[in-house]
Amino acid sequence: MQSVQGTNAMTAPEASLPSSKKVFIKWSLLGTVGILNGYATILMYSRGEIAFALLTIILTALALFIFGSKKTYAHRYIYPGIAGMILFILFPLAYTIGLAFTNYSAKNQLSFDR
């Protein structure tokens, strides 16, 4: 009987890209995502949608930190769930509560002549 060490069954797989190319692609994609979301945030802020701009900044910064750091590799699997919870549960709840205590309804948006 032959040992596992002698059969070359445990050889390391060859990577398709060298490490430096992988790192370059990773950081270029993360940088592109950051720049595009920064532009979208500026557009939202300039149109007066401060809450949506803040939500975009928070989710993008969290994503860039989680996907950019080696320490947070395990959190990559839970991030979509957390981001979905923030986006679809916490943000609408906070936004609705904020609107409830303001005079920001459609009836008050109209001019006096209408």
List, for residues 26-72, the tens digit of each pLDDT value. 999 999 999 999 999 999 999 999 999 999 999 999 999 999 999 99
Give the pLDDT score at 13: 61
Give the pLDDT score at 112: 66
Share of the chain above pLDDT 70, in %: 76
Residue 61: how many other CB atoms lie within 10 Å:
12
- DSSP run (H or E) holding 30: helix 19-46
Parse the chain into domains and list their residue ranges: 20-101
Of 3.40.50.300, 3.40.50.10540, 1.20.58.370, 1.10.3980.10, the CATH number of 20-101 is 1.20.58.370
The model carries a pTM of: 0.73
Instruction: Report whether pLDDT(25) > 60.
Output: yes
Residues 6+ apart with CB under 8 A from 40: 56
Ordered alpha helix ranges (H), 47-104? 50-68, 79-85, 91-100
